[in-house]
Amino acid sequence: DAGVTQSPTHLIKTRGQHVTLRCSPISGHKSVSWYQQVLGQGPQFIFQYYEKEERGRGNFPDRFSARQFPNYSSELNVNALLLGDSALYLCASSLGGYNQETQYFGPGTRLLVL
């Protein structure tokens, strides 16, 4: 069975641009969460989606938005990119989005903002 997949693997953008990151969860998983991991830090929660509805949101500005599609895949959008948005963006999927469930992380998308 395929694990969580993310695309693209790497991305270079300039300040002010917009970026869309994509995530496909494990088959049968209905919950997708997004995390930002800056170098040397642990992942920081951005969003959680379950059954196409936003279930939770971390402390990130409105420039960050996301959505989940009927096939449970998800997109993370970041507008007006800042240098500080450079990070590894991780997607995690789980069956029902409950915190006692195992979270399966994808390999991440490494974003560099110049």
Partner 1 sequence: SQKIEQNSEALNIQEGKTATLTCNYTNYSPAYLQWYRQDPGRGPVFLLLIRENEKEKRKERLKVTFDTTLKQSLFHITASQPADSATYLCALSRNQAGTALIFGKGTTLSVSS
CA angle 35, 37, 42 (to 5 degrees): 100
Q: Tell which positions 60-89 bind partner 1, by CB under 8 A.
A: none
Is 102 one of the binding residues for partner 1 (CB under 8 A)? yes
Is 8 one of the binding residues for partner 1 (CB under 8 A)? no
Among 7, 17, 41, 77, the residue binding partner 1 under the rule CB under 8 A is: 41
Candidates 11-19, 52-60, 64-72, 74-82: pick the segment binding partner 1 (CB under 8 A): 52-60
Assigned token pair, 37:
């991991």
Cβ-based nearer residue to partner 1, 13 or 103: 103
